[in-house]
Amino acid sequence: MPNLVLGSTTVISESGGTATVEVPVSDQQYLPKGLSQGVGFLLHIDDAGDATMSGQPAGGTGDRIIVFDRTTNGLSDETEWSNPITDLNASGTFTLAVGYYYYKVCIPSVHQWQHWFLYGVRTYGDSNGNGSALSNKTDTEVSLGFTFSYAATSGVNDGLHHPGILRVTSAKQRHCIQYHNQYNSVHGWSGITVNTTTDVCIRSWASFIKIG
């Protein structure tokens, strides 16, 4: 592919099939306006194939990381639009390609968690992928804050969404998404049988649209 040049500045160069970003990602003048450079999804699902479908499990109480099961490219042409979510491990932490992202997080329904919070993205460890220190729950270009709800023990269920803007400057930096719950409970129903192909139940999800 040819080099991407804006004015007299080479923004992306290509050599032997390898593209290199030649300008800092923090330079706003070089970011495309309103163009998506990839869409990735994190999914926590129920596809067990048994007779009972279950929603988001609490897994205990307090601050907890959503352990996603899979990462999915939102665009089918992976040769042109690669998944910006580059790695997801069994603990629920993940890495992203360097850039800027508009993201959304959702737990559509919980069961009798009482007071609960849904946090946005938190960085996990340092920029080299080491350690487990978490960024603040409100942090510039990481998370706008958290959303709050109440799911009463009388049986009322509730869900939350969370929007945010994320800046990724290291491809090794790991991230996570957390919630905080007061009561440990999960809801299910035997009215539908889920499976891996035609009936996947989404317990929680996050989407990342790469905008620069």
CATH number at residue 125: 2.60.120.40
Are 70 and 91 contained in the same domain? yes
Please state, as a whole number, how many other Cβ atoms lie within 10 Å of the Cβ of residue 11: 17
In which domain, by residue range, is 25 found?
1-30
Which residues 6+ apart lie within 8 Å of 160 measured at CB? Answer: 106, 107, 116, 118, 147, 148, 149
Query: What are the backbone angles phi and psi of residue 166, rounded to the nearest 5°?
Result: -125, 135
- Long-range Cβ contacts of 150-155 (<8 Å, 24+ apart): 150/114, 150/115, 150/116, 151/110, 151/111, 151/112, 151/113, 151/114, 151/116, 152/112, 152/114, 153/112, 153/114, 153/183, 155/112
Are 101 and 195 contained in the same domain? yes
Are 43 and 137 contained in the same domain? yes
Are 119 and 185 contained in the same domain? yes
Are 26 and 76 contained in the same domain? no
Are 23 and 40 contained in the same domain? no
Q: Which one, of 78, 77, 99, lies nearest residue 25 by Cα?
A: 99
Domain count for the chain: 2
pLDDT tens across the length of the chain (212 residues): 676 666 677 767 777 777 777 666 545 555 555 556 788 999 998 877 777 778 888 999 999 999 999 898 877 666 667 899 999 999 999 999 999 999 999 999 888 899 999 998 999 999 999 999 999 989 999 999 999 999 888 766 778 998 999 999 999 999 999 999 999 988 888 877 777 777 888 889 999 999 87
